[in-house]
Structure 1
Amino acid sequence: MNGLLANAISMGILAWGWANFSTALGVSTWAGFMGTTTYYASGERFIKGWIKGIIANMVGVLWAIICVEASKVLNVPNIAAIMTGVVSFGIVAQARWKRLSFIPGVYIGCSTTFGMLALNGTYFSTVTALLMGSVVGILSDAGGELIVKLTKKKELETALKAEE
């Protein structure tokens, strides 16, 4: 079985599990999927992709906190729009540092925070969902690898029996 199909099977099973598990725990399912999305968008695999995604998402959450909290204390007309511009500038400008260069991952973390706050979530609930979702991403990738290994072993056994 090829890797993409194996990952699809693994992701399908884990997505089903995540939807049930997150709902039972009261964790935002969609925000968790943003963590999974970040893992897959990182362009890296396993621990390297997981760490890259987590760093990006958490920096995005920090940018959202800066935007929201500054908007609360600064009494300036259109402050939310101004802060959105400031934060967007910062997200892209920080990419000159390698560890902070995964711009889509930072935007995912920031946007997920805004979405969660709009739905009466908290910063903590956002971080929790993103982190849990990133685990779903790495587990689905590892599950795909396991499926590939198991099916290749089975294919080899079948081929050997056919030769007998």
Structure 2
Amino acid sequence: MSAIMSGAISMGILAWIWANLSAAVGVSTWAGFMGTTTYYASGERFIKGWVKGMIANMVGVLWAIICVEVSKVLHVPNIVAIMTGVISFGIVAEAKWKNLSFVPGVYIGCSTTFGMLALNGTYLSTVVALLMGSVVGLLSDAGGELLVRLTNKKETEENLVEKQG
């Protein structure tokens, strides 16, 4: 089986499990999928991709917290727009440091936080959803890899039997 098909099967099964599990435990399904998206967008696989994605997402959550909390304290016209410009500058500027260079992952964390807050979520509920969703991404990748190995091993064994017979 191809790596793409095995990955698709694994992701499909885990997405179904995630949608049921997240609803059952009260964690935002869509915010979790933002964690999954971050994992796959990281360009890395397994633990390296998970760590890269989670660092980026958590920094994004931190940027959102800064924006929201500063906006609450400073009573300046258009403060949210001003803070949006400030944090956007920061998100891109921090890319000069290798561990903070995954800009899309930072934006995903930041945007997910704003979305969760708009839906009466909290900072903590955002972090939990992103973390759980990133684990879904990691597990789906590992599951796809396992499926490739299992199916290719079977095909190899079948080919060997045909050649011997």
Relative to the length of structure 2, the TM-score reads 0.98
Gaps of 5+ in 2: none
Counterpart residue number, 1:8? 8
Q: CA deviation at 1:157?
A: 1.8
Count of equivalent residues: 164
Q: CA deviation at 1:161?
A: 2.3
Query: RMSD across aligned C-alpha pairs, in angstroms?
Result: 0.6
Q: CA deviation at 1:102?
A: 0.2
Task: Name the aligned partner's letter for residue 109 of structure 2.
Answer: G
Percent identity, please: 80
Counterpart residue number, 2:61? 61
Gaps of 5+ in 1: none
Counterpart residue number, 1:39? 39
Q: Kindly indicate whether residue 102 of structure 2 is the aligned counterpart of residue 102 of structure 1.
A: yes
Local SS of the residue matching 2:43:
coil
Q: Which 4+ residue blocks in structure 1 deviate beyond 2 angstroms? A: none
Please list the CA deviations of residues 99-149 of structure 1 after superposition, one character each: whole Å capped at 9, or x if unmatched. 000000000000000000000000000000000000000000000000000
Counterpart residue number, 1:92? 92
Task: Name the aligned partner's letter for residue 162 of structure 1.
Answer: E
Local SS of the residue matching 2:77:
coil
